[in-house]
Amino acid sequence: MSQDIYVVIEHLRGQVADISYVLCAAARQLAAASGGQVVGVLLGHNVQGLAQDVAVDRLLVMDDPQLADFIPDRYQQALAGLLSAQAPRVTLFGDTSIGAELAGGLSVQLGWPLVSYCRSVRADDGRLLYISQLCGGKVMAEGEIPAPHALLAMVPGGFQAEQGKRTSPPPVETVASAAVGGRITLKQYIEPESGDVDISKEAILVSVGRGIQNADNIEMVQELAAALGGVVSASRPVVDQGWLPTTRLVGKSGKRVKPRLYLALGISGAPEHAEAITDSQTIIAVNTDASAPIFDIARYGTTLDLFDLVPALTEKVRQAKQ
């Protein structure tokens, strides 16, 4: 039985997704314990030259015009053929729109168990263990990665992307594609609108969550953002309520952000939000609940009430600038 750890390298519009490096970092930890190799799997068309910095022992490239765009059923067929033939011990996917769809379909097709929302992995006395972040991050479930084969869909947070990079290109092997036509075709790729501001490019984000209570209180946060020279972004409940436009949404269904400062006000840190802020240089969390998962990824935090803190902080920032 193979002890190799496979990583499905996610990419879009010619860019390797950050989650791929996180997967490589996790895979290295698992491979050190299983005694296998870390093997990257790259699907696409004209993708030679992509993923040259992923920390894998070898990179399998399946290059096929049918795989030029991410079409779920084609990618699934191509991967099902490869994985059933090579039977790795564990295969890692990002728990992203692309990765979660593939991992779920493959789990059914191959009959291999899938662990979703996996935040970290570790080895203990020869056993491979996962920690999965359930119920919006409120429950951390630890278990043994099922044998002989398992699929893991990972959220960011447990490993640094930097740990999954290498400086020299990995050895590349070309593998035959088993992609089939499928029922779905891509008609058009629509770039999301950047709208009033592009929060993915802002250096300072003051982000507001359900803890803000109602639309009228957003103004207070806008004043703090203006004093700091940043802009306001939000978690999903705030956008769903229509208190801020969708262009300000941070998270799985919004934008990934990488500001110098991410100030999270009244945000719990659910996985769908947290996965999009892990590239921030500094995260500061303000949340009255000391057990909120946002504190797991924040560098600084306070359990002060945001309604006490925000006006006082705005005043202090203004004074400091005079």
Ligand X SMILES: Cc1cc2nc3c(=O)[nH]c(=O)nc-3n(C[C@H](O)[C@H](O)[C@H](O)COP(=O)(O)OP(=O)(O)OC[C@H]3O[C@@H](n4cnc5c(N)ncnc54)[C@H](O)[C@@H]3O)c2cc1C
Site residues for ligand X per CB under 6 A: 136, 209-211, 235-237, 249-254, 266-268, 270, 272-273, 286-289, 292, 305-307
Q: Minimal distance in Å, beta carbon 126 to ligand X?
A: 35
Nearest-CB residue to ligand X?
251
Q: Minimal distance in Å, beta carbon 177 to ligand X?
A: 30
Expressed in angstroms, the distance from the first to the final Cα of the chain is 68
Q: Minimal distance in Å, beta carbon 292 to ligand X?
A: 4
Give the integer Cα–Cα distance in Å for 265 and 102. 34
Cβ proximity to ligand X, 80 vs 307, nearer residue: 307
Give the integer Cα–Cα distance in Å for 205 and 276. 13
Q: Minimal distance in Å, beta carbon 220 to ligand X?
A: 12
Query: Do the Cβ atoms of 58 and 40 come closer than 8 Å?
Result: yes
Cβ proximity to ligand X, 44 vs 251, nearer residue: 251
Cβ proximity to ligand X, 8 vs 221, nearer residue: 221
Sheet holding 231-234, edge to edge: 231-234, 204-208, 261-265, 282-286, 300-302
Q: Minimal distance in Å, beta carbon 87 to ligand X?
A: 31
Query: Do the Cβ atoms of 24 and 40 come closer than 8 Å?
Result: yes
DSSP conformation letters of 134-169: EGGGTEEEEEEPPSS-EEEEE-TTSS-GGGGB-SSP
Residue identified by tokens 């996996």 is 118
Cβ proximity to ligand X, 47 vs 267, nearer residue: 267
Cβ proximity to ligand X, 52 vs 253, nearer residue: 253
| Consecutive H or E run containing 1 | none
Q: Minimal distance in Å, beta carbon 268 to ligand X?
A: 3
Give the integer Cα–Cα distance in Å for 240 and 252. 14
Cβ proximity to ligand X, 86 vs 107, nearer residue: 107
